[in-house]
Structure 1
Amino acid sequence: MKDVLYTTEIPAGGHWSLRLRRGTQMRITDIEGGGNAGMLFYNPEDLLERYNAPDTLKCQHTFRLTRGNCLYSDMGRIFASIVEDSLGWHETVCGNSHAAHIAERWGKRDYQNDRNDWHQNGYDAFLVELAKYGLGRADMAANINWFSKVATDADGNMNLDGDHSAPGSSITLRFEMDTLVLLHTCPHPLNTASEYPRKPVRIEIGEAEPVSDDDYCLNYRPENRRGFQNNALYYMGTEMGKR
């Protein structure tokens, strides 16, 4: 990443959103370890286009996300590429925690009575951010859970690896499209910690290096090269207008 132009810390149980331009890079850091950062993507020029978890996994023949993987929209375009990753495993199949899950596991707390000690959930955190852009429940998509690793036991049950992310673990995204990014720091839905997890993350944003023909993400899968071609076609008129 070139010089960091913006940095902020999202507290535990927090939520955040920002429109990022293509050519921007974002580093997300799990400050204390054991964190979870839920994330969704939308096309700010056409909010009906959003992150597609099934297409992202099946076209890259994977169950997990790591360096080299691209994050696809439901139009076959690439929102972002994972250019750096200190963990090697992030999941995008388990979705969000909900108010009922949180209340059952750690007790119900609301902001009116408990202020910063309340128990927020991922689904409602996303709804708050979606509302800022005229979106709602019908616009919710399957999200990414950065820093979270799930594995299956002999009976096929999925379990969260609570020791997966160490303090300082980070992942860096390079945005290949203008993208509306939504993020929350609420617990993973499979988290079974005895206390409500309060894990903040740091966000750093700067300018990315240009994509070269030998780029790792571009060449990670043949499908990714086609995704980049779809992006180029989408922006063709814009690029020609700059000449």
Structure 2
Amino acid sequence: MNTSTLWEETLPGSSSWSHILKRGTALRIEAIEDNSNVGAIFLNADNPSERLNLSDTLKAQHIARLTKDSVLYSDMGRVLCSITDDTLGWHDPLGGCSDATLVEKKYGRLSYQEAKNNWHQNALDGFLIELAKYGMNGRDLMMNVNFFSKVAVREDGGMQFIENHSAAGSAIELRSEMNTLVILNTCQHPMDPDKTYAQRPVRLTIKKVEAPGPDDACRNACPENGRGFILTERYFV
């Protein structure tokens, strides 16, 4: 284990996970198998009424994908997390998450009583269960990111899921700029055309990291990010 590593664990497929990622730490997510998907939502752990705003995240940075040097904005214009490392180059901020109706239609109904840990779960319920642990409910839900998945926007405005996008060993690292409640879910992407219900685990590593300086790549990726970091740093003064 690296001396900066604070915690390591494996998150099984079709599972949910949550953690308050402290300012000054980072979360690395590594795919163990090909074609993984990790849905994620983010909230200010000190004031959960402030949460990820994907519309502002994309608009401020003039992007339709997430990759290294991108940041995740809250609805208060502050930076929740920065992407400081990414081996894949494209993560989906558009596709949303599966729900019980979609999973049953695509994969069939399979309950816990029938299949135990192989039962058919969905990402929406997983997010809601984790939110409930912190006293929140469906009113606190927001649009999620899908790490390790790619959705391209065609010329006609339609969205296309790109199959076989990620390989085992693909990784992304999120540096927390605030005390951020991170909620993850490893159910399949809702647009994945694969009719086989698959449970693909990922490896999670939390480690200590240095605070971003004036020459930080995420801060300087665009002028808007510079202003976002100033707002974030002022919050902790």
**Does TM-score exceed 0.5, indicating one fold?**
yes
Which deviations, in whole Å up to 9, do the C-alpha atoms of 1:123-159 show, x marking residues without a partner?
0010110100011111110001000101234554322
State the SS of the aligned residue for 2:48: strand
Distance in 2 (alpha carbons) for counterparts of 1:152 and 1:211: 33
* Counterpart in the other structure of 2:137: 136
- Written as runs of structure 1 = structure 2, the 5 A alignment for 1:1-243 is 3-153=4-154, 155-236=156-237
Preserved contact between residue 9 and residue 201 of structure 1 (Cα < 8 Å): yes
Q: Deviations over 1:53-108 (max 9, x none)?
A: 00000000000000010100000000010000001100111111011110000001
Q: Which residue is 1:239 aligned to?
A: none
* Residue type of the alignment partner of 1:167: A
Q: Which whole-Å CA distance do the structure 2 matches of 1:66 and 1:152 have between them?
A: 16
- What are the Cα deviations for residues 7-56 of structure 1, in whole angstroms up to 9, with x where unaligned? 11111100000111101011001110201001111112111111010000
Q: Secondary structure at the match of 1:194?
A: coil
**What SS does the corresponding residue of 1:172 show, helix, strand or coil?**
strand
CA contact (8 A) 2:4 2:209 kept: no
CA contact (8 A) 1:130 1:136 kept: yes
Could you say what secondary structure the match of 2:160 adopts?
Answer: strand
**Structure 1: gaps (5+ residues):** 237-243
Amino acid of the residue matched to residue 235 of structure 2?
A: Y
Counterpart residue type for residue 130 of structure 1: L
> How many equivalent pairs are there?
236
CA 166–109 in structure 1, closer or farther in 2 if over 3 Å, else same:
same
Identity across the alignment (%)? 46
CA distance in 1, matches of 2:170, 2:116: 29
Which amino acid letter does the alignment assign opposite residue 119 of structure 1?
H
TM-score, length of structure 2 as denominator length: 0.96
Q: Distance in 2 between matches of 1:141 and 1:2?
A: 35
Counterpart amino acid of 2:119?
A: W
What is the distance in 2 between the residues matched to 1:66 and 1:41?
17
Deviation larger for 148-157 or 216-225: 148-157
1:194-237 per-residue CA deviation (whole Å, 9 max, x = no partner) reads: 2012111110000012212111101001101100000111111x
Whether the 8 Å CA contact 2:8–2:206 is kept in 1: the answer is yes
Residue 112 of structure 1 deviates from its aligned partner by: 2.5
- For the 8 Å contact 1:2–1:209, the answer to whether it is kept is no
Please give the root-mean-square deviation of Cα atoms over the aligned residues, in Å: 1.2
Query: Normalized against structure 1, the TM-score is what?
Result: 0.94
Q: Runs of 4 or more off by more than 3 Å in structure 1?
A: 152-156
Q: Secondary structure at the match of 1:13?
A: coil
Residues 42 and 180, structure 2, Cα contact 8 Å, conserved in 1: yes
Classify the secondary structure of the residue corresponding to 1:48.
Answer: coil
